[in-house]
Structure 1
Amino acid sequence: MTKRHITYLACTTALLGALVGTAPASAAHRFHVVRPGESIQKAVNAARPGDTVLVLAGTYHESITVRTPRLTLRGVGDRTVITPVRKTAPKKTAPGTRKASVSCLESGNGICVVGGKDKALPDVTVADLRVTGFSTTGLWSMGTDHLTVQRVTADDNGQWGIAQEHSTRGVFRGNTARGNGDAGLFLANNVKAEEGAMNSNGAVIEWNRLTNNRIGITVRRLRNLAVTGNYLTGNCAGVFVVGDENKPKAGALTVSGNRVERNNKYCAKTARLPYLQGSGIVLTGTEKTLVTQNVVTGHSGKSPLSGGIVLFKSFVGVTSERNRITGNRLENNSPADLVNQEAAKSGNAFDHNSCRASKPAGLC
């Protein structure tokens, strides 16, 4: 056995010892260790509520679905890599046969955390691993309560890096999302249905690093959450808070303490939005959103959404109302540091911002 193998085994043993040592003896929670060549899904299926599935360093070609409450799925950092199944010939389905549901793999997702239709899946944690190369989403969740996703790297996925819908009290902390086709981190009420904004009951998006995605962070049709202390650069747009004509309106949330720099990548228009380039923080169709203590610098573009902090009507023409933009530092954003495309009667307030240029004039 080489010195490298001895060191690796010693580190793994120490990690297991540390993890076990932190659990009360009375908890009787079990650890399921997955090694390269073994199935993560098999270990997840065998786990009981409160157990931990520890995935050692290696590359695992599979998709994983979690439906067990209070389960922890943990790797050992970016050396634990989850990537799509190697391509094989598709299985034939008998004529007239319909599948009961589409699996995580068939949906093009890497990790799926899924609750019941009428009962949220509580207290699942996914941490310390990398999920990459999936056609849709690296990590997708729906119907959860207090899901924690931390120190996960989600890169080069076709749509979203990390995404959640129809869930409450999610915590997304210390993750890295880069090179994803749409948002690096995406939270919404419901992706497919047109309905009013959902109360997230205090979801938290903090200390994440979002680079080279279409949009760094998208919050769509949600209320009561915080986007705090994130670093966003090299995207087409940094932060998007999106609402529409449904009630209650999106908003009643906080975007604070983020560093938003040079999000000048070009992205073509879609059915909902014009092309994107040079957008720092954008509010569209929202109300009562507080944008404060952010540093927004170096954005440049000629899109209707370009600028440092931008208020813009939603794609269906709904106004942004009673939002407060205060105490931000803005520099070198074009066409302006602050852009307000709403009428004065919309009640949006701009005060105590450090900036040089605004549209219309007088907001700095």
Structure 2
Amino acid sequence: MKSSAHLSPFLGATAILAFLLVTAASAATIQAGSDLQAAINQAVPGDTVLAAPGVYGGVEITKSINLIGDGARIRADDRQIGMKVGADDVTISGFTVEGGFYGIHLVGSRNCTISNNTITGCVQWGIGLISSDDNRIENNVANYNGLGGEGWYGIYLSGSHRNLIQDNVASFNGEYGIALFPSCSENVIRENVAERNDYGIYMFTNCADNLIQKNRLAQNFNSGIKMINGCSKNQILENDIVENGVVGIFLQRGSGYNLIRGNEIADNSKFGIQIQEGPSGNNTIVENNISASQRGIFVNTDGNHIYKNRIFDCVIPAEDRGVNQWYADYPEGGNFWGDYIGTDEFGGPGQNISGSDGFADLPRIINERARDIYPVMGEAVLPLQLVDASINPARASIGAEVTVEAVLDSKNGVAQVSARTRSLLRSSERTPYIRMDRAGDGAYVGTLQTALMGPGRYEIILSAKDSKGYEVEETIGELELIPRAGWSFDEALSKGL
């Protein structure tokens, strides 16, 4: 007799098909009564348990079954787990889990699908994966978890790999929307919403090769994304990271070799991207829009490569305290800087060949070590700029009143405006400041008293600051003062007139 190892391919396929048919035929659908755990205990692997509308206690699943809810609610007390899974190939869908120490809790489980559930009010995490690989967590809502004590998670992974976390909402949680800690790798975190947590997505300690893509991470009280303690080789792609309380993306303590590409990073209060502490270098930051933060990009590590980004409407567009490269080799080029107005009359790697090439002829200087050799040309994007100004009269006798007017365009609102004079003849001469008062939409007016000024030519310099701290200072014109007949400036000054 031939052993089964030597069956023909046709006979082997027939046997497998017969086995699958028998397995499918043996699967049952069980309608749970008031005791959901009893129905789960009755089921065998492959069965489907249906839970009708109603309130059930916490359950534990230790076999490969499908658990489907239709208006079913799980309520557990603060020391219980709402739904504990300790088996592979489990499906849980259609439940609302209210309360419990953990909501839906997988331990050592593989190939499970957790979808279309709502988990809220748990002491620690809403959905947790502990040493659980190759699972799908999709279309769940995990809000308002971990609000007591230290504050915890909407969705939490620990020592878990190759999981898909997709199309979930993890907002209003005590600390983290989605958290990976520690040693989580090759997970895909895609198209989720994490808002109004302390951190939208948080990775801590040796989390590598994860994909974070097309998520909305907004209005979190600290960071949109934070990676700390050796989180490396992750990809942060095409996310909306906006209006977070401190920083959009924060890499810290050895979190290097990450790719940050194609993200919209806007209106984060202090930093768009912040990289600091320890050897957190060798990250690639490319093709992002970074705008409306106090600092656009802040780095104090080495080896980061930053190019083809649009950096605009930031009070300090870039601060580099390490040794980093702010451009790619020609002809890829550098970054667009909204505050940089350059000319483009030359091209080539050395910007010395006649003819424009889309890059400014002169570098954009960041500091004495850092510069963008190939700043990308484009229309300046200035959140605060002087539109028009006038000095009337521009030539007057000493003692006359001179009116100074300015019109400002400000995205963030003007916080303060002033003007001052500077003598073009006597550098040591004390010159007065001019108080500027608002005179209409964007218009400011002030009066210069010239009685104690000497004859000569003066520049009028306007200074303005917006509510975010962006400043502009420009010379708006010149004033010529001529002596009055029979009047001496020195004599008047000595008498205090």
Taking structure 1 as the reference length, the TM-score comes to: 0.71
Distance between the aligned counterparts of 1:139 and 1:294, measured in 2? Answer: 27
1:359 is aligned to: 298
2:40 is aligned to: 44
Contact 1:320 1:342 (C-alpha < 8 Å) held by counterparts = no
**Cα 1:25/1:49, change in 2 over 3 Å:** closer
Counterpart pick for 1:298 among 215, 220, 243:
243
Point out the structure with the larger strand share. 2
**Cα 1:110/1:352, change in 2 over 3 Å:** same
Distance between the aligned counterparts of 2:91 and 2:121, measured in 1? Answer: 22
Contact 1:322 1:349 (C-alpha < 8 Å) held by counterparts = yes
2:153 is aligned to: 183
For the pair 1:279 / 2:239, whether they are aligned, the reply is no
Number of residue-to-residue matches in the alignment: 271
Alignment of 1:136-175 (within 5 A): 136-175=101-140
Distance between the aligned counterparts of 2:224 and 2:114, measured in 1? Answer: 24
Distance between the aligned counterparts of 1:172 and 1:150, measured in 2? Answer: 6
For the pair 1:254 / 2:189, whether they are aligned, the reply is no
Secondary structure (helix, strand or coil) at the match of 1:252 reads: coil
1:129 is aligned to: 95
Post-superposition Cα deviations, 1:266-312, rounded to whole Å, max 9, x if no partner, equal xxxxxxxxxxxx21011112010010100000011xxxxx3001112
2:194 is aligned to: 232
Aligned-partner residue type, residue 229 of structure 1: E
Post-superposition Cα deviations, 1:300-347, rounded to whole Å, max 9, x if no partner, equal 1xxxxx30011122xxxxx11211111101110021111111467721
Distance between the aligned counterparts of 1:109 and 1:284, measured in 2? Answer: 29
**Cα 1:210/1:30, change in 2 over 3 Å:** same
Give every structure 1 segment of 4 or more consecutive aligned residues whose post-TM-superposition deviation is greater than 3 Å.
Answer: 23-26, 342-345
Distance between the aligned counterparts of 2:55 and 2:286, measured in 1? Answer: 50
Aligned-partner residue type, residue 292 of structure 1: L
1:108 Cα deviation after fit: 2.1
For the pair 1:212 / 2:207, whether they are aligned, the reply is no
Post-superposition Cα deviations, 1:233-273, rounded to whole Å, max 9, x if no partner, equal 11111000111xxxxx3211110110111112xxxxxxxxx
Distance between the aligned counterparts of 2:228 and 2:282, measured in 1? Answer: 14
Larger-Rg structure: 2
1:26 Cα deviation after fit: 4.6
Distance between the aligned counterparts of 1:326 and 1:203, measured in 2? Answer: 22
Distance between the aligned counterparts of 1:74 and 1:66, measured in 2? Answer: 13
Alignment of 1:46-65 (within 5 A): 46-60=42-56, 62-65=57-60
**Cα 1:258/1:345, change in 2 over 3 Å:** closer
1:127 Cα deviation after fit: 0.7
Counterpart pick for 1:333 among 268, 272, 289:
268
Distance between the aligned counterparts of 1:47 and 1:328, measured in 2? Answer: 47
Gaps of 5+ in 2: 1-20, 147-151, 300-317, 320-325, 327-334, 336-497
2:220 is aligned to: 263
For the pair 1:83 / 2:75, whether they are aligned, the reply is yes
Aligned-partner residue type, residue 73 of structure 2: V
1:222 is aligned to: 184
1:176 Cα deviation after fit: 0.2
Aligned-partner residue type, residue 346 of structure 1: G
Distance between the aligned counterparts of 1:283 and 1:27, measured in 2? Answer: 48
Distance between the aligned counterparts of 1:39 and 1:345, measured in 2? Answer: 53
Taking structure 2 as the reference length, the TM-score comes to: 0.52
Secondary structure (helix, strand or coil) at the match of 1:250 reads: coil
Contact 2:255 2:279 (C-alpha < 8 Å) held by counterparts = no
Post-superposition Cα deviations, 1:124-152, rounded to whole Å, max 9, x if no partner, equal 01111011111x10111101111110011
Aligned-partner residue type, residue 32 of structure 2: V
1:312 is aligned to: 252
Post-superposition Cα deviations, 1:203-224, rounded to whole Å, max 9, x if no partner, equal 1000001110021000122111
Contact 1:112 1:140 (C-alpha < 8 Å) held by counterparts = yes
Identity of aligned residues (%): 25
Contact 2:252 2:280 (C-alpha < 8 Å) held by counterparts = no
1:25 Cα deviation after fit: 9.6
Gaps of 5+ in 1: 1-22, 86-104, 115-120, 190-197, 244-248, 265-277, 301-305, 314-318
Could you say which structure has the greater relative contact order, defined with CA pairs below 8 angstroms and 6 or more residues apart? 1
Distance between the aligned counterparts of 1:24 and 1:128, measured in 2? Answer: 28
Secondary structure (helix, strand or coil) at the match of 1:283 reads: strand
Q: CA RMSD in A?
A: 2.0
Distance between the aligned counterparts of 1:287 and 1:163, measured in 2? Answer: 23
